[in-house]
Amino acid sequence: MIVTITPNPSLDRTYELPALSRGEVNRAATDRVDPGGKGVNVARALTAAGHRTTAVLPLGGFSGLLLSDLLLRQGIAVATVPVRGETRINVSIVESDHGLTKINAPGPELSEHESAALLAAVRRDFTGPEVDWLACCGSLPRGLAPDWYAELVGQVHSGGARIALDTSGPALLAALKARPDVVKPNREELAEAVGRPLATVGDVVEAAGELRERGAQQVLASLGADGMLLVAEEGSWFGTAAVAEVRSDVGAGDASLAGFLGAGGSGLKALAAALAHGAAAVRLPGSMMPTPADLDHAAVRVTAEIPAERVLRD
């Protein structure tokens, strides 16, 4: 079983329009609402692939109710912790020619009691031998200390489950010390973690190595349209999956992590699955998660020969 925790979940609202005019009234051509937050998306993709999973999340207010209803209708198993604040709504604006603009809300501030209740919910129900992986995903809401994931990883690791971590900034740096089994930074998050820009695949390999020295056992670095790199003790692999038409890259990293964990969570096969899921996610609207029917395994290329000199796109 793969459990995900999302301390700051969201409703993801996506508007598609030809072009955004700043300072004007804009009329969207399409409007959709998806359940969101990184661990929620990982659980959605895993459920779509037939894996046993539960998403743990705090929920509050009217948008919390709507999120819970959407998840119920999609058949996602959830364990919720009620909070007083309102669950956030994140907005994506997709323009035909200019790509994606995202506005992520801060979300509710959790009280000390709510923060402890969220930790306790995982510790109480999801540290048994049936839990293979705990995926700790997304930003921490206000009220949670930067070492909140570090504490959770420490507690869950001692129960035997493996840990995947997809977060950024101080929360990522603090949790490395608890030796997560895999971390999944994107290029910007990895650059921030090592404190310098990453221009080539070789730069990414070096930065991933630094995160491993600081405690991460594997680093799955996602590089948007440039593909993905896995750096682990057994070796390093680089891969790409061509996409003819990108519709929305919201949640592509989450779909990738779901593919990686669903395929065992280590090695070349898991990297290939992550690439297939990421590519499928960007072909779909909003933060829609791919099903196995959406995957194009033939488009995936994975190699142990790392193209270190390859320059990453701007």
Ligand X SMILES: O=P(O)(O)OC[C@H]1O[C@](O)(COP(=O)(O)O)[C@@H](O)[C@@H]1O
279 is an interface residue for ligand ADP by CB under 6 A? yes
Catalytic residue numbers read: 254
Element housing 203 (H / E): helix 201-213
Between β-strands 10-17 and 30-36, what pairing exists: parallel, antiparallel or unpaired? antiparallel
Using the rule CB under 6 A, is 282 a contact of ligand ADP? yes
Q: Could you give the string, one character per residue 185-214, with x where binding to ligand X holds by CB under 6 A and - elsewhere?
A: ------------------------------
Residue whose CB is less far from ligand ADP, 14 or 256: 256
CB of 6 to ligand X, least distance (A): 7
Q: Which DSSP string do the residues of 35-73 spell out, in sequence order?
A: EESHHHHHHHHHHHTT--EEEEEEE-HHHHHHHHHHHHH
> Which of 180, 253, 259, 262 lies at the binding interface for ligand ADP (CB under 6 A)?
253
AA letter at 136: C
Taking CB under 6 A as the criterion, which residues in 104-143 touch ligand X? 104, 138-139
Quick check: 205 binds ligand ADP (CB under 6 A)?
no
CB atoms within 10 A of CB 118: 24
Residue 287 is which amino acid?
A: S
Is residue 278 at the binding interface for ligand ADP, with CB under 6 A as the rule? yes
The order of strands in the sheet holding 162-166 is 78-82, 53-59, 2-5, 133-137, 162-166, 182-183, 219-222, 228-232, 235-241, 300-303
Tokens coding 269? 């096969």
Our finding on whether 222 is near ligand ADP (CB under 6 A) is: yes
Q: Which span (34-42, 119-127, 226-234, 305-313) binds ligand X, by CB under 6 A?
A: 34-42
Per the CB < 8 A criterion, the answer to whether 100 and 122 are in contact is no
- Nearest distance in Å: CB 280, ligand ADP: 9
Tell me which residues touch ligand X (CB under 6 A). 8, 10, 12, 36-38, 41, 90, 104, 138-139, 250-254, 287
Tell me which residues touch ligand ADP (CB under 6 A). 186, 222-225, 227-228, 241, 243, 246, 249, 252-253, 256, 275, 278-279, 282
